[in-house]
Amino acid sequence: TLHVMGTGQRGGVGAALAPHVVLATGGFGQVFGQTTNPYVSTGDGVALAMRAGADIADLEFVQFHPTVMWLGPLAQGQQPLVSEAVRGEGAFLRDIGGERFMEAEHPMADLAPRDVVAKAIMRRMRASESGHVWLDGRHLGADLWISRFPTILDSCRSRGIDPVTDLIPVAPAQHYVSGGVRTDHWGRASIPGLYACGEVACTGVHGANRLASNSLLEGLVFAGRIGEVLARSEAVVREPVRGRDEAGLLPHSVRRTMQQTMDEHVGVLRSRASLEAAENELWSLADTAGARPSTEDWETTNIHALACVLARHALLREETRGSHWREDFPERDDARWQTRLVTSIDENGALHTRTEPIGGPT
């Protein structure tokens, strides 16, 4: 059953009964304040599936792009990405004091892997108590910027920064999530009749960290596979799945506070102390529930639900693997953690997280 929401309607304006429901609602980048994702990327599909009782997996694996234009500590919505190709052409990073630092971090210096660069930037920002570092491409010249990076050039100039003559303020920001609604390799979720494709889905094909451009797998390959399944499926309308009761909606006014909590405690560098602080702050926000239904309040409530699961998964996984980095557990631990974390909600609305061996449904 798919409920269609209208402003001011708690239960929706009506329900559409269907033998199959396909979720293709994208990721949940707006869980974080610093993100390359659009303002509407609020994880509604993942939250909907979770409330219906579907399995949600791998939320701890969040990919952060190292060089996103820093628009200030209060920036919200989609923030412009400065491609790694700019560093490939010879641009390099400087800390807030102007010193180059990547040469001491990795043999490939500024061309090091994305994860290495993001962690190095965050450590340098923390040490200098600054909100960003600098990307220096001034020596590339105007002709190269115009011919190779016209979109980035226009984006910078529209914000008062000219990369030909100015340093670009950059910082890591959330870019992609490998987790979501757990599906098999045909897009089928754990609830019969429910399917997911694109970033809302967690097919397992990315493992703990997505390779560049491979998000097309879930958007194209699995959409096609779901189509194949539906074409040969009978249109049997099942008994509607009952959604888990909600205690109330969170007001949109807490959204920024929640995002700041996630940026500070559940970002690139994580530890038990930071993750426990995040959990405490997130659960304290639940006391503000009771808002009148609106689209923004539903989105805020969905963000909160996913933030809680993400923080819980990140706290439980006591290792560093892929895009999940624990400062207190800096090594990968295959003996304990070559498993997936899967969360679901029971009929009483309680969250339950379990481990499952790598592999799962195909």
- What's the pTM value of the predicted model, to 2 decimals? 0.89
Task: Choose the CATH number for 19-61+178-357 among 3.40.50.920, 3.40.190.10, 3.50.50.60, 3.40.50.1100.
Answer: 3.50.50.60
Q: How far apart are CA 185 and CA 206, in angstroms?
A: 12
What are the sequence ranges of the domains in the chain?
19-61+178-357, 66-172
For residue 299, the model assigns a pLDDT of 94
User: Average pLDDT, stretch 77-95?
Assistant: 94
| pLDDT band at 293; cut points 50, 70, 90 | confident
Greater pLDDT, 210 or 254: 254
Residue 23 corresponds to which tokens in the numbers above?
């979720």
pLDDT tens digits for range 20-55: 999 999 999 999 999 999 999 999 999 999 999 999
For residue 72, the model assigns a pLDDT of 86
Q: Residues near 150 by Cβ (< 8 Å), separated by ≥ 6? A: none
| pLDDT band at 218; cut points 50, 70, 90 | confident
The H or E element that residue 136 is part of is strand 133-136
pLDDT at 158 over 90: yes
Averaged confidence pLDDT in the chain: 90
pLDDT tens digits for range 323-360: 999 999 999 999 999 999 999 998 888 899 999 988 65
Q: Which CATH class is domain 66-172?
A: alpha beta
pLDDT at 317 over 70: yes
Task: Please say whether the dihedral angle defined by the alpha carbons of residues 265, 209, 39 and 128, taken in this order, is positive or negative.
Answer: positive
Least confident interval from 235-249, 299-313, 343-357: 235-249
- The catalytic residue positions are 114
Query: What share of the chain in percent tops pLDDT 90?
Result: 75
pLDDT at 229 over 60: yes
| Helical packing angle, 255-265 and 272-285, nearest 10° | 170
